[in-house]
Structure 1
Amino acid sequence: MCLSLESHVYFAVDTISTNQSLSGNQTIVSAGGVFRLGFFRPGNSSNYYIGMWFNKVPQLTTVWVANRDTPVRDIYSSVLIISDGNLVLFNESQVPVWSTNVSSSSDISSSVVAVLLDDGNLVLRDGPNSSTILWQSFDHPTDTWLPGSKLRFDKRTNRSQPLISWKSPDDPAPGLFTFEIDPAVTNQVSIVWNKSQLYWFSGTWDQRTMSFSLVRK
């Protein structure tokens, strides 16, 4: 996948707080310099997205995209900020197009910070020195499974937390393939094509290995 790599202004911090914002070519970098977060433009697209990519890989290689369904066109008048206790992306018309959607009290909202960690997890905390996580990108993956993140299936809501392919190299919107824990057999994973057709599934997981693997086309 070929993605455009443009000049970026790197903050020497890994945090967005209530008095900071990201716009234009500004980015934040995780404390150990592993990941960057900011606006990027995929391939030949004229659209921009808030995403996370490897900091030390020369070719822009994204691992997470926030607004994959709702791109912006002008990154200099679009802004990513902390607003009412949430991380919110406003487009060039100052319309919110993506948010973490955390319900928080007024006393917490004034102290919320977003921190980019070295494992590739973007977290919202209720204060710069707090270990309490209000939201994390590991719970909202796009197409990349990072070490430390998990695939889940919630039996209470009957919903999975899948990986979903990009629509194309120029468009990170959800594509045709989904990688998820099989809702019918929760100790195996499957790839589903076009939301309905089973394309591939693993063998059952016995806590150590997969017993077999099958491919269906």
Structure 2
Amino acid sequence: MVMKNARCCMFCVLFFLCFSIHLNLSEGDDSITANQSLSGSLNQTIVSAGQTFELGFFTRGNFSRYYVGIWYKNVIQQAIVWVANREKPISDINSAELKILDGNLVLVVKSQDPIWSTNVSSTNSNSLVATLNDDGNLVLRDGSEPRSSEGFWQSFDHPADTLLPGAKIAYDKRTKAKQLLISWKNSEDPAPGLFSLELDPNGSQYQYIIKWNRTRQYWTSGAWNGHNFSLVPEMTRNSIFNFSYVDNINEAYLTYSLYNPESISKLVINVSGQIKLTSWWQGAEDWNSAWSQPRLQCEVYGYCGAFGTCNQNSSPYCSCLRGFKPKFENDWNLRDYSGGCVREIVLPQCGNGSTSTGKKDKFLQNPQVSLPVNSQTVIAGSAGE
């Protein structure tokens, strides 16, 4: 009888311990605390309180490159909206860990070498909490502060290629600092690509611009007219999105929200150099496009690279001029055409001076094609000449 009671007591203790552990994990499933971490080997994640966003490790394609990112949880086609270590991928997922260390949220590998860090000065690590909010914002704060606090660091201040509702692309008038959306390198590599969106403080009327290689501007939104940016009238031609532009003594920025709380949305500068505003609602099979800028893909500067042509009516848009081939075939398969095209054969005369074929080099007419920016012209007497 004593043995039976002892076994029952032991079972009760074990059950209580297991139940307690389960409670602790459930209470922290949207946060990383000082004594918890995310393990890459266990493919652990945290999920926002409303089950809208998820943070964890991910990879793309067949590459052994892993990243920490945030994505919409309940969307069929996984949409990555933020990436921590986009410039430093992890090669060994089994040794990766995201945890709070020395007052920061840090991504480390087994050797404890930091791959990525929030890099802020904060209080004692033991009191810190990194919480994934239901708006998709990851906030590092003191555990005693309310969840609504901005904390020491937040992912909304360090966007990747995506602007979520409630976030902003700002220009700080005090520090002259800009927040940029920067495209992925290609469809499988979140490293910073060629295209960026920023708020341009040129003159008294600010406007958003898209740049190629952070230098060449090829699109502008126009100035804000009180309802929308002048060259983007589509902003007010819908019943889904509510845009707001703020311009005060400290900063200027654009933000937006959704009229329907059951919908989700993202504004992305994609690998093709366009910004696209899309939405998703329960039961949909794909993202619904509201608008994109520039409106035509072929208006994107340098989209098809050197010796490439862009045709708005073809798929894909890019092709090489006759006698040329893609310089980087794999990149073209990943929708990165920036490497352009190279000659399939060396020109007999222009290339190496050889005339062994007996053929002369000549120009090939390419009608109905617009010339590129900064094109050069040579006058000729006739087409044959």
| TM-score, normalised relative to structure 1 | 0.88
- Indicate how the Cα distance of structure 1 residues 183 and 92 shifts in structure 2: closer, same or farther if over 3 A, else same: farther
User: Whole-Å Cα distance in 2 between the matches of residues 110 and 204 of structure 1?
Assistant: 47
What is the CA-CA distance between 1:129 and the residue it aligns to?
Answer: 4.9
What is the CA-CA distance between 1:208 and the residue it aligns to?
Answer: 1.7
Q: Secondary structure at the match of 2:99?
A: strand
Contact 1:160-1:183 at 8 Å conserved across structures:
no
Between structures 1 and 2, the one with greater strand share: 1
For the pair shown, which has the larger CA radius of gyration, 1 or 2? 2
1:131-175 deviation digits (Å, cap 9, x = unpaired): 441111000000001000011112333221010000111210100
- The size of the alignment, in residue pairs, is 205
User: Whole-Å Cα distance in 2 between the matches of residues 150 and 127 of structure 1?
Assistant: 25
Instruction: Give the letter for the 2:90 counterpart.
Output: V
CA RMSD of aligned residues (A): 1.8
User: Whole-Å Cα distance in 2 between the matches of residues 209 and 56 of structure 1?
Assistant: 31
What is the CA-CA distance between 1:59 and the residue it aligns to?
Answer: 2.3
Instruction: Give the letter for the 1:93 counterpart.
Output: S
User: Whole-Å Cα distance in 2 between the matches of residues 62 and 74 of structure 1?
Assistant: 21
Instruction: Give the letter for the 1:120 counterpart.
Output: G
1:171-197 deviation digits (Å, cap 9, x = unpaired): 101000001101325621010001100
Matches within 5 A, 1:127-142: 127=143, 129-131=145-147, 132=149, 133-142=151-160
| TM-score, normalised relative to structure 2 | 0.51
Q: Of residues 110, 114, 117 in structure 1, which corresponds to 2:130?
A: 114
Matches within 5 A, 1:4-153: 12=26, 13-24=29-40, 25-106=43-124, 109-127=125-143, 129-131=145-147, 132=149, 133-153=151-171
2:185 aligned partner? 167
User: Whole-Å Cα distance in 2 between the matches of residues 171 and 156 of structure 1?
Assistant: 34
Q: Secondary structure at the match of 1:49?
A: strand
What is the CA-CA distance between 1:207 and the residue it aligns to?
Answer: 3.0
Gaps of 5+ in 1: 1-10
User: Whole-Å Cα distance in 2 between the matches of residues 93 and 184 of structure 1?
Assistant: 47
Between structures 1 and 2, the one with greater helix share: 2
User: Whole-Å Cα distance in 1 between the matches of residues 206 and 106 of structure 2?
Assistant: 36
2:194 aligned partner? 176
Instruction: Identify the structure with bigger relative contact order (alpha carbons < 8 Å, sequence gap 6+).
Output: 1
Higher mean displacement: 196-205 or 178-187: 178-187
